Amino acid sequence: MKLIEAIIKPFKLDEVKEALSQLEVQGITVTEVKGFGRQKGHTELYRGAEYVVDFLPKLKLEIVVADDMVERVIETIQNAAKTGRIGDGKIFVLNVSDAIRIRTGEKGDSAL
Amino acid sequence: MKLIEAIIKPFKLDEVKEALSQLEVQGITVTEVKGFGRQKGHTELYRGAEYVVDFLPKLKLEIVVADDMVERVIETIQNAAKTGRIGDGKIFVLNVSDAIRIRTGEKGDSAL
Amino acid sequence: MKLIEAIIKPFKLDEVKEALSQLEVQGITVTEVKGFGRQKGHTELYRGAEYVVDFLPKLKLEIVVADDMVERVIETIQNAAKTGRIGDGKIFVLNVSDAIRIRTGEKGDSAL
Amino acid sequence: MNFRDLAKKSAWIGAALPLFWAADALAGDAAPTLSAGDTAWMLTSSALVLLMTLPGLALFYGGLVRTKNILSVLMQCLISAGVMGLIWIAVGYSLAFSGDGAFIGNLDKMFLNGIGPDTLSGTIPEFVFVIFQGMFAIITPALMLGAFAERMRFGPYVAFISIWLIVVYIPLAHMVWGGGFIAELGAIDFAGGLVVHMSSGFSALVAALYLGARRGYGRSPMPPHSLPLTVIGAALLWVGWFGFNAGSALAADGTAGLAFLTTQTATSAAVVMWALIEKIHRGKPTVLGGATAAVAGLVAITPACASVDVLGSVYVGIGAAVICYFFVTIVKNKLGYDDSLDVFGVHGIGGTWGALAAVLFIAEVPDGMTWGSQIFAQIKSIGITAVYAPLASIIILVVLRMVLGDLRVSDEAEYEGLDLAEHSESAYSTESSGMSASHSGGAA
Amino acid sequence: MNFRDLAKKSAWIGAALPLFWAADALAGDAAPTLSAGDTAWMLTSSALVLLMTLPGLALFYGGLVRTKNILSVLMQCLISAGVMGLIWIAVGYSLAFSGDGAFIGNLDKMFLNGIGPDTLSGTIPEFVFVIFQGMFAIITPALMLGAFAERMRFGPYVAFISIWLIVVYIPLAHMVWGGGFIAELGAIDFAGGLVVHMSSGFSALVAALYLGARRGYGRSPMPPHSLPLTVIGAALLWVGWFGFNAGSALAADGTAGLAFLTTQTATSAAVVMWALIEKIHRGKPTVLGGATAAVAGLVAITPACASVDVLGSVYVGIGAAVICYFFVTIVKNKLGYDDSLDVFGVHGIGGTWGALAAVLFIAEVPDGMTWGSQIFAQIKSIGITAVYAPLASIIILVVLRMVLGDLRVSDEAEYEGLDLAEHSESAYSTESSGMSASHSGGAA
Amino acid sequence: MNFRDLAKKSAWIGAALPLFWAADALAGDAAPTLSAGDTAWMLTSSALVLLMTLPGLALFYGGLVRTKNILSVLMQCLISAGVMGLIWIAVGYSLAFSGDGAFIGNLDKMFLNGIGPDTLSGTIPEFVFVIFQGMFAIITPALMLGAFAERMRFGPYVAFISIWLIVVYIPLAHMVWGGGFIAELGAIDFAGGLVVHMSSGFSALVAALYLGARRGYGRSPMPPHSLPLTVIGAALLWVGWFGFNAGSALAADGTAGLAFLTTQTATSAAVVMWALIEKIHRGKPTVLGGATAAVAGLVAITPACASVDVLGSVYVGIGAAVICYFFVTIVKNKLGYDDSLDVFGVHGIGGTWGALAAVLFIAEVPDGMTWGSQIFAQIKSIGITAVYAPLASIIILVVLRMVLGDLRVSDEAEYEGLDLAEHSESAYSTESSGMSASHSGGAA
Ligand SMILES: Nc1ncnc2c1ncn2[C@@H]1O[C@H](COP(=O)(O)OP(=O)(O)O)[C@@H](O)[C@H]1O
Ligand SMILES: Nc1ncnc2c1ncn2[C@@H]1O[C@H](COP(=O)(O)OP(=O)(O)O)[C@@H](O)[C@H]1O
Ligand SMILES: Nc1ncnc2c1ncn2[C@@H]1O[C@H](COP(=O)(O)OP(=O)(O)O)[C@@H](O)[C@H]1O
């Protein structure tokens, strides 16, 4: 099992979710985050004081899938989230040693 | 050391925290997230337009514990967070290769 | 590649970001979280009812770096985020098996 | 209309200025003519009293509930302005202010029959009097919603306040202000301690008890989701209340000036006193305390604002802070009932205190009364209100329960929140709300 | 000024009270003197009409847009109060209310030339009349911004509303209220169904069409980011509208009382009716529906508030709910245009309905008119407005497009949000905003 | 009371309309009688001035601070309405408006001794004059809190504004409006450029300096946590200010009309000018700029609103934008002091400019004065205020420091936020707040 953590541009959420649904991904957990990266931020003005804002709003998607799904999920996210412009985000893959469904106590792949 | 990531229904936070305290878990980090899964969403209305909301508010708990605690923590969360209805959430277990306490620089299990 | 997850006091964000920039860390993802730990909470009053608030506002930083950077990044965060008072936070290190840059499809260290 | 006794009793000095035209008119003297000045003030006052409900009360209550229930509170206020507004012109005004019955008026002025732009009520157009009183009929039932907030179904709520207006509010308004039975007793209730605050406060209590506590009440905290909204609401209630109290003089004169001034000073005193109590009792004064104190002070001075002098008004405010603080922090917790937003503790208790204080600190006892007889009149009218309003309310609720089924939302709906369950809306939405345009609904 | 015909037509009863001084004055009788009562009400009304724009309309619209665009809405309202305020005193008032032209006035009163503190307009200082009308000139152009919200550049917006004020609003105000051509037709438009709501609603529609839909419209949901703000806005619009409508009597008299009352009852009726429709059509009444209904009811009663009686006003409100609901939920979705916040559906359509209803339910046909001829006058004036306003607007927009370039923000700016792109600000900021003080800007 | 000189000097035309009764009264002619129209306007104005503080100023300032401090700002406004309200009726009114002293009045009217509902002050009940002036006494000290926001302890704040009211505000009010020394100089200060804005602005500056800058000031950004709240606040200030300025005519007449009109036009001009400056200087007009400009324009026109004509008011507004922009963006950053919300830059500087501009652009020099002598009177009175207010303030602060200890919260409290540290409350709470009901507090 892997945890796929994808950081994407917020307005891409719908498309990514749509694409993943077709893969029969059963669950996604989404967090509002702020991202700092190569994409340059902007300047804000408050009564003549100028602030540089380096952190931009992003969404972080966490998806735990069985190992055999990993490649397809990554590819799908990449296609759906891509605009080709800087700041499109990253996908990180982490190993998950166990998963449990709280409702039933099921473990492993069947908990997803 | 393991990172236990639990996605639960928001109103269960208090109970879970209570139960974990009795296990002498020393720390919890909580994030407000939106979850998409088997639990079906609802419909919202805005001036006659109907939207389907698939993402439901959930809380994500992150708890890093020594290996020997893992089983007990999982069990405790599962018991406390369970309502038996769909959408109760998941628990994922990830491996943590190191932990550092910022204040003291302690490392490993003693940093928790 | 490692995922460094640092939980810090919110007002330290600027300093940590500054310090990491000098290390040429290319990206950071920040989440507003609530933390429960040794640092004691406070009491709130609402029309004479007293509530104990155990969860305190923290920021969670996620930084994925190549293995050779890990030590320096940890050290830098620790120095910048440290106040010496309880509640300064933790740093957890997790293994990342892969990274992909959505915009280009680059993989591995070059995706960071 | 029989304002005569009211006029004699409510004014600070023997020769009641504000309503003396009424006496004149009854005595067959020169008919009063339109006063543009009085009309200007009464138009303004009417707008101010609506401001109290929308957005004043809506925000005051809306900030205090949890995020998932704020819209239900706003909607309950909005619909009160809708439904009560219609009932008032259909039958309400007539039943309250037309006819000489001891308990209720008649239907001669249904749909404002016989009233035109040039019909006067005293020195103002009767239309203006109708709408000023109509704004009272809008806010009073809405005051109650705080007691059963976060759990009552919308439909039954609408039914409840509609029937309550007719069965509880209108008779009381007639008895006190329309020349009925309580007016005959000689009780002083200048702007509505009995009619507005006691009636709604005591009724709200029985409704809260009948509906039962919110799930988790007493175990899980239910802190206000937005104190800034609550403070905006309290501030707009404060501003609007000048229309409520000083507007009740029905003229722009010295009585209005007195009522305006005492309203301000009582509220100031309540805010200061509450902060002091909190400082002593809890170590720190709170903002929610300040906002609550302001409302408690305003409630308490309502019946008393034209019968006490400025020093008296300060005592009224101090008393309101002490008594209401004691109720909402000690008594409620002791008794354990779930009056969600303290409607009983603030309006019921504060209104009772105000009705008493109107005479306790009276500046000048009206002709034909002694201080003792006046106090006695107050106690009698307080007793009548404190019995009649809750009794009638519980009967309405029981009947509604039989006709409409559960008055309360299901447990799931309560957990999910009334905004979604009853109105299919969320108060706040962000880009991660994860909505998608549905097929049936189309674009928007 | 030629208020005579207006007066005759707008009052509920034959002998028009509110403006009879105008007739007197023209007839050469005793000059009217200052009425402090009328002046008090008109000062208050002027403040209330500003309250409608700031913060009323700003919040009503601001809550409905997405988080990233709320400041752009607030700024567009603020700047209207700035620029329109200046144009009004420079030339606007004079062009609208000085001179006898059929279509437009003259420049005799540029910069209020010749008016001093003791110049009267009827029974009030002319300064007060100037500012009361000026507040109308501030809100009317701002009403339009809802139609093209979330996509228009700030500079072109300012240019558009400035020219629109002079080319569309002022001629219409002159024609209807300044004694011009539509007044001669005998059309009834007491507080501005034609001049304010139809003119802005129809113009807004063409602007929305000309600018095109928001990116993603119809595919991605664009739910309101804060319904509580929208409800506060609607509530303050409601309260302020009493100044708008009852203030249009220009006196504190029976006509003002009538206008105040009908404004309230029509709005109550619209709120109740809309909730019923939603209940039947969708299963649940919504808060956004309630707020929209309130505005629709207020719009519809605006032209009619002094010509119908209280029962008539209820019909006006019910009709507004039915017709506007149908437009904003069915027709708009069918046709697929992106009138972001339903300016056309509420103001354009609601204003048209109101202008018709002002005579459909008229209490008393003015002297010299029959019901039929009066209806015919309404239809003609509706037709003129419905053609003139959008036609002039599209010409202005096309010319501006040629002179100023794209009226719309870039796609990137639209995605990023107008707050950042056009104003370099974010509405809400938290500790994780990750700002750093820049070198150039220094501290703050 | 000696309004005579004031009247002569503040009115636009020689024969001062608004207060001519005062002259009459002094001349021994027929005693003035109650004017319901004037009273109606003054009651309304009093409510409007409270609206400026609650919720106007509270929100304007509250939106500008960081999330963790908003409640402390709201509470500081609430408590001002409480404590100042009480001090005003106890001794304030009497010291300001009773007696002929050059610097301060007497205590004859302590607790409004001797005033009843039928006591008149000119054409309005004296009670109404008392409360109208009382609302000024509530807002003026609260204006200062913006300068030391986010760091002052609550207790010392209350002590400071209480003493400040008596030592600074009341003497100035007496000197300028109560017939004292500055009135004798002949200075024009119609609605309070000296008494209200300079006094608070200059005092606020020394308080900010004495307390020191916020931790991290100049290094960490401290952006407004909610600009929408700030805009609501600015909008309500704007609306309420009509009561402040036009209400200062103490009548519903031509002077009130003039003051209302110039208030609007100066503010419009300031908003437009500020946006232009920002566009040129920074490339984009901001919403915070718009809101700040509105307040700056309102401040500047306050002393001048009845002495300039409409064109003059436009210059006043333009000047306010230019000068205040320069102060809050350039001078403050250069000098590096931490006047958190720019009380000095807006009220201190804007008030000074307004007091000068009242004569620079004067429409008609009062009898017995030349333009030069009038300018000289202004400069003298500006100088007196600019020296007296800050001097007295610093003495009060030093003494308080000795008596009460640190006036500032601890570093930990400043970091944690004043809401928690001083009031044990959080402004906003969500389900992940992680509260639990404590044993001691019980349910709620
Ligand atoms: N090394 C990293 N660790 C964690 N998050 C990162 C890292 N690099 C980038 N991110 C996240 O990805 C987002 C996009 O990265 P950025 O460098 O701006 O553009 P791109 O993905 O096109 O290279 C950032 O805003 C940040 O949230
Ligand atoms: N594969 C997954 N990866 C990440 N998060 C998941 C996954 N499956 C479920 N979740 C999270 O768990 C929540 C509950 O899952 P759901 O399928 O609705 O019910 P249940 O847990 O009862 O099976 C979801 O809302 C989502 O946040
Ligand atoms: N075992 C843990 N797992 C996850 N998060 C933790 C853990 N322990 C602490 N934290 C996080 O770190 C924060 C600081 O921890 P705390 O115990 O208060 O102080 P310190 O870091 O000084 O020991 C907590 O608020 C919590 O967010």
CA dihedral F244, F247, F248, F250 (to 10 degrees): -160
Is C41 touching ligand 3 by the criterion CB < 6 Å?
Answer: no
Ligand 2 centroid distance, CA of A112 (Å): 7
φ/ψ (deg, to 5) at E148: -115, 25
pLDDT, averaged across chain C: 95
DSSP E355-391: HHHHHHTBSSPPTT--HHHHHHHHHHHHHHHHHHHHH
Inter-chain CB proximity C46 and F440 less than 8 Å: no
pLDDT, averaged across chain D: 92
Closest by CA position to E378, among listed E394, E391, E361: E361
Q: What is the mean pLDDT of residues D265-284?
A: 97
Q: In chain D, what residues touch B44 (CB-CB under 8 Å)?
A: 420, 424-426, 435
Find the ligand nearest to C23 CA. Answer: 1
Look at residue D2 in the predicted model and tell me its pLDDT. 37
Is ipTM strictly over 0.85?
yes
Closest by CA position to E43, among listed F207, C16, F248: F248
In a domain, D438, yes or no: no
Q: Are E94 and E105 in contact (CB under 8 A)?
A: yes
Band of the pLDDT at D341, cuts 50, 70, 90? very high
Closest by CA position to E59, among listed D225, D66, F234: F234
CA dihedral D280, D281, D286, D291 (to 10 degrees): -100
Neighbouring-strand partners of residue E78: none
In a domain, D368, yes or no: yes
Structure tokens at F327: 């102060």
Range of the domain at E112: 39-423
**Could you tell me the strand order of the sheet in which D435-437 lies?**
B42-46, B49-53, D435-437
Q: What is the mean pLDDT of residues D436-443?
A: 52
**Cα atoms in the Cβ-side hemisphere of radius 13 Å centred on B95:** 12
Closest by CA position to E227, among listed D143, D236, D72: D72
Distance in Å from the first CA to the final CA of chain C: 9
In a domain, F119, yes or no: yes
Best residue among B29, B73, B98 to mutate for probing ligand 3's pocket (most ligand atoms within 8 Å of CB) is B29
In a domain, D32, yes or no: no
Is C90 touching ligand 3 by the criterion CB < 6 Å?
Answer: yes
Taking the Cβ of residue F120 and every Cβ of chain E, the question of whether any pair is shorter than 8 Å is answered with no
Look at residue F150 in the predicted model and tell me its pLDDT. 98
**Bond prior to D55 in cis (omega within 30° of 0):** yes
Atom of ligand 2 nearest to the CA of A104: 22
In a domain, D6, yes or no: no
Look at residue F32 in the predicted model and tell me its pLDDT. 86
Q: Which residues neighbour B68 within 8 Å (Cβ) at sequence distance 6 or greater?
A: none
Share of residues in chain E with pLDDT > 70 (%): 91
pLDDT tens digits, one per residue of D235-264: 999 999 999 999 999 999 999 999 999 999
Within chain F, how many helices (H) and strands (E) appear? 21, 3
Q: What is the mean pLDDT of residues F170-195?
A: 97
Does residue D3 surpass a pLDDT of 80?
A: no
CATH code of the domain containing F126: 1.10.3430.10
Return the higher-pLDDT residue of F358 and D15: F358
Best residue among B1, B17, B26, B59 to mutate for probing ligand 3's pocket (most ligand atoms within 8 Å of CB) is B26
Band of the pLDDT at D435, cuts 50, 70, 90? confident
Burial class of F426 by CB neighbour count within 10 A (0 to 12, 13 to 18, 19+):
buried
Find the ligand nearest to A89 CA. Answer: 1
Q: Are C53 and C43 in contact (CB under 8 A)?
A: yes
Best residue among A34, A36, A42 to mutate for probing ligand 1's pocket (most ligand atoms within 8 Å of CB) is A36
Mind telling me how many Å the CA of D198 is from chain C's nearest CA?
21
Does residue E32 surpass a pLDDT of 90?
A: no
Look at residue E12 in the predicted model and tell me its pLDDT. 52
Band of the pLDDT at F435, cuts 50, 70, 90? confident
- Range of C50-64, D390-404, F214-228 with top mean pLDDT: D390-404
CA dihedral C48, C53, C57, C60 (to 10 degrees): -160
DSSP F102-130: SS---STTGGGTT--TT-EETTEEHHHHH
Neighbouring-strand partners of residue E152: E408
CA dihedral E125, E128, E133, E137 (to 10 degrees): 140
Residue type, F179: G
Q: What is the mean pLDDT of residues D356-384?
A: 97
Band of the pLDDT at E430, cuts 50, 70, 90? confident
pLDDT tens digits, one per residue of F277-297: 999 999 999 999 999 999 999
pLDDT tens digits, one per residue of B51-62: 999 899 999 999
Ligand 2 centroid distance, CA of D442 (Å): 28
Look at residue E163 in the predicted model and tell me its pLDDT. 98
Look at residue E31 in the predicted model and tell me its pLDDT. 77
Residue type, C107: K
In a domain, E14, yes or no: no
Q: In chain D, what residues touch B18 (CB-CB under 8 Å)?
A: none
Band of the pLDDT at F438, cuts 50, 70, 90? low
pLDDT tens digits, one per residue of D52-70: 999 999 999 999 999 999 9
Taking the Cβ of residue D433 and every Cβ of chain B, the question of whether any pair is shorter than 8 Å is answered with yes
Structure tokens at F319: 């000047």
Band of the pLDDT at D29, cuts 50, 70, 90? low
Is C62 touching ligand 1 by the criterion CB < 6 Å?
Answer: yes
Q: Report the number of distinct structural domains present in chain E.
A: 1
Please, which chains are in contact with B (at least 3 CB pairs closer than 8 A)?
A, C, D, E, F
Inter-chain CB proximity A26 and B38 less than 8 Å: yes
- Cα-based distances in Å from D276 to A48, B48, D230, D322: 41, 50, 21, 10
Does residue D153 surpass a pLDDT of 80?
A: yes
Inter-chain CB proximity A49 and F292 less than 8 Å: no
C-alpha to C-alpha distance for F260 and F48, rounded to whole angstroms: 13
Look at residue D242 in the predicted model and tell me its pLDDT. 98
Q: Whose CA is nearest to atom 21 of ligand 3?
A: C89
Q: Are D242 and D263 in contact (CB under 8 A)?
A: yes
Does residue E268 surpass a pLDDT of 70?
A: yes
Residue D12: in which H helix or E strand, if any?
none
In a domain, E7, yes or no: no
Q: Are B96 and C93 in contact (CB under 8 A)?
A: yes
Most A CBs within 10 Å: which of B33, B36, B96, as the mutation test of the A interface? B36
C-alpha to C-alpha distance for F4 and F25, rounded to whole angstroms: 10
Residue type, F63: G
Q: Whose CA is nearest to atom 9 of ligand 3?
A: B27
**Number of inter-chain CB pairs under 8 A, E vs F:** 219
Neighbouring-strand partners of residue F416: none
Mind telling me how many Å the CA of E68 is from chain C's nearest CA?
19
Band of the pLDDT at A33, cuts 50, 70, 90? very high
**Could you tell me the strand order of the sheet in which A42-46 lies?**
A42-46, A49-53, E435-437
Band of the pLDDT at F430, cuts 50, 70, 90? confident
Look at residue A49 in the predicted model and tell me its pLDDT. 86
Band of the pLDDT at F30, cuts 50, 70, 90? low
Does residue C23 surpass a pLDDT of 70?
A: yes
Structure tokens at D11: 């004014």
Q: What is the mean pLDDT of residues F423-441?
A: 76
Share of residues in chain D with pLDDT > 90 (%): 88
Is A39 touching ligand 1 by the criterion CB < 6 Å?
Answer: yes
C-alpha to C-alpha distance for A109 and A25, rounded to whole angstroms: 12
Look at residue F14 in the predicted model and tell me its pLDDT. 37
Q: Maximum CA pair distance of chain B?
A: 58
Q: What is the mean pLDDT of residues A26-31?
A: 95
Q: Is the dihedral of CA B31, B34, B36, B42 positive or negative?
A: positive
Q: Are E268 and E153 in contact (CB under 8 A)?
A: no
Look at residue C24 in the predicted model and tell me its pLDDT. 87
Band of the pLDDT at D436, cuts 50, 70, 90? confident
Ligand 1 centroid distance, CA of D437 (Å): 30
CA dihedral F94, F99, F105, F110 (to 10 degrees): -20
Atom of ligand 2 nearest to the CA of B34: 27
Q: In chain F, what residues touch A45 (CB-CB under 8 Å)?
A: 278, 282, 284, 286, 288-289
DSSP A9-62: -GGGHHHHHHHHHHTT---EEEEEEEEESSS--EEEEETTEEEEE--EEEEEEE
Q: Which residues line ligand 2 (CB under 6 A)?
A: A 26-29, 62-64, 101-103, 112; B 7, 35-39, 56, 58, 86-90
Look at residue D13 in the predicted model and tell me its pLDDT. 42
Share of residues in chain D with pLDDT > 70 (%): 91
Neighbouring-strand partners of residue D97: none
Please, which chains are in contact with D (at least 3 CB pairs closer than 8 A)?
A, B, C, E, F
Look at residue D32 in the predicted model and tell me its pLDDT. 86
Ligand 2 centroid distance, CA of B30 (Å): 17
In a domain, F433, yes or no: no
**Number of inter-chain CB pairs under 8 A, C vs D:** 27
Find the ligand nearest to B35 CA. Answer: 2
Q: Whose CA is nearest to atom 8 of ligand 1?
A: C27
Atom of ligand 3 nearest to the CA of C36: 25
Q: In chain F, what residues touch A44 (CB-CB under 8 Å)?
A: 223
Best residue among A28, A61, A96, A107 to mutate for probing ligand 2's pocket (most ligand atoms within 8 Å of CB) is A28
Return the higher-pLDDT residue of D28 and B46: B46
What is the 8-class DSSP label of residue D101? -
